[in-house]
Structure 1
Amino acid sequence: MSTYVITGAGSGIGQVLAEQLTARGDSLVLLVRDESRRGEVAAAFPAAQVLVADLAEPGTLNGLGREVDGPVDGLVQVAGTVELGRVERLRLADWQHQLDVNLTSPAVLTREFLPALRAGRGTLVYVNSTAGLGVNAEWAAYSASKFGLRALADAVRAEEREHGVRVTTVYPSRTATPMQEKVHAKEGKEYDASDWIAASSVADTIRFVLDLPRDASLEEVTVRPGPR
């Protein structure tokens, strides 16, 4: 039985991944943003340890790693947020919120769980976005946070190789999740989940990364829609 720490397990890719890992008997530590979500996630995953960690407030994450006992086989950072808008109209709060949730908090969580990951010679997975590889109009703040997340992953990979920690960035294209539904609403477009990658397909990719034999490491994986 392996132990995995997952952010964003309350919906979308994170929830599906947590369901898959639970089904095969793994031990989970799930991070949720507030007490109300703790109750919902604890009911869905009664065997998991559920911790409150508000990624919008990075300072509240200090010391979180001490709440998990023993080695960790994987830290999977799925949680994220998005606000679209042209640079001329984006508020400071929009920039700060996305940078806090998508970049600063993942960095703090990485620091917090590195001792446990080193002890378990574990795998650190950052679920990024293809917006972290290229940027379109109105995606400046979100893409900036995801470009930064890519840089974080590259730095941690170089620093932690000597400690036996593997680091992978997964770049999903548009995926059928509640976040994608929100994006469509902001874009003024009709949302049809069947048009996009299933959350389970991205979760399958993450599990593949986590299950790789120790003699191999996938540093970056891009997940795009298959041919129709």
Structure 2
Amino acid sequence: MTEQPRPAASTQSSSSRSTRPVALITGASRGIGKAIAEELGQEHHILVGGTNPETVNAVVQTLPSAEPFLVDLTDLDAIAPALEAAELSRLDVLVHSAGLAWMNPVAETSPAQFQQMFTVNVFAVAELTRAALPLLRESYGQVLSINSGAGYTAGPGSSMYSGTKFALRAMTDALREEERGRVKVTSIHPGRVDTDMQVALQESMGNESYDGGIYISPRAIAEAARTVVDMEDASMVETLSIRPVQK
């Protein structure tokens, strides 16, 4: 797959970028990523990550200072060029929120399915982080990986998803130690969150009645991300676990 064309940023976005800290958020056109973009967008210039120009630009238009960051995360070779094309002079926060999730038994899962999920959930995270590290080091910036409760446990049908989240947790932990003192690194592990992805997951597991009120709201995760970003320079949230009250 090839990189999507990048729409031009508005004049307001271009001028505001120089006076605000900058946050790049993948998967920012919906769900947790969108909620984080709205929360951090109060003070940050937001690069709204996604693949669909229409949905990405819809979010851009709602934020005080923002621009699109359009790249197909399954195309690893397109990630570094997309970041370079953004022509950033600084990057203060990188939030990895994009991800794939579905359930399937090992016996019914093809290598291509494993490859697709690992590419988006792990390999693309590593590549975007690698490309962004020089800018993050300059600003004593932060990396937030939106992981999952599945980063600690695995059950029937979760071999792909939990496998990617276990791997993401390990990579995030290693990155934290490699960059300690230069870049803050946080792993956020939400339980079930009321998103479109959760609706699809519940349907795939045969749960016909969906009650989003018993799950964590995307806003709650965004507020937690805000707390992480706002920590004093001498402090860092390394790992944060957020669970619904009801099991």
Q: CA deviation at 1:124?
A: 0.5
1:65 Cα deviation (Å)? 2.8
**8 Å contact kept, 1:83–1:98:** no
2:25 aligned counterpart, secondary structure: strand
Q: Deviation string for 1:98-149 (max 9, x for gaps)?
A: 1011000000010111111011101100000010111011000011111110
Is the 8 Å Cα contact of residues 83 and 94 (structure 1) preserved in structure 2? no
Partner of 2:67: 49
Matches within 5 A, 1:26-37: 26-37=44-55
1:151 to 159, 170, 184: 170
1:187 matched to which residue of 2?
205
Q: Paired residue for 2:94?
A: 75
Alignment of 1:1-228 (within 5 A): 1-22=20-41, 24-45=42-63, 47-66=65-84, 67-162=86-181, 164-189=182-207, 190-226=209-245
Task: Report the Cα offset of residue 161 of structure 1.
Answer: 1.3
Deviations 1:136-183 (A, max 9, x none): 110000111111101111111111114x20000000000101110110
Secondary structure at 1:8's aligned position in 2?
coil
Does the Cα contact within 8 Å between 2:91 and 2:139 map onto a contact in 1?
A: yes
1:218 & 1:71 partners in 2: Cα distance?
22
Letter in 1 for 2:168: L
Contact 1:34 1:54 in 2 (8 A): no
Conserved 8 A contact 1:84-1:141: yes
Provide the alpha-carbon RMSD of the alignment.
Answer: 1.6
Structure 2, unaligned runs of 5 or more: 1-19
List 4+ stretches of structure 1 deviating above 6 A. Answer: none
Q: TM (normalized to structure 2)?
A: 0.87
Q: Using the alignment, how far apart are the partners of 1:38 and 1:3 within structure 2?
A: 17
Partner amino acid, structure 2, of 1:148: A
What's the % identity of the aligned pairs? 31
Q: How many equivalent residue pairs?
A: 226
3-state SS of paired residue (2:99) = coil
Give the deviation of 1:92 after TM superposition. Answer: 2.0
CA separation of 1:39 and 1:216: change in aligned 2, threshold 3 A: closer
2:125 and 2:119 map into 1 onto residues whose CA distance is 8
Q: Distance in 2 between matches of 1:68 and 1:153?
A: 26
Quote the Cα distance in structure 1 between the aligned partners of 2:211 and 2:87: 39
Tell me which residue corresponds to 2:13.
Answer: none
Give, in whole Å, the separation in 2 of the partners of 1:167 and 1:44.
28
CA contact under 8 A between 2:49 and 2:68: conserved in structure 1? yes
Counterpart AA for 1:140: S
Query: Which ranges in structure 1 are unaligned for 5 or more consecutive residues?
Result: none
Determine if contact 1:169/1:220 at 8 Å carries over to the other structure.
yes
Tell me which amino acid in the other structure corresponds to 1:220: T
Alpha-carbon separation, structure 1, partners of 2:243 and 2:106: 27
Distance 2:58 2:116 in 1: 24
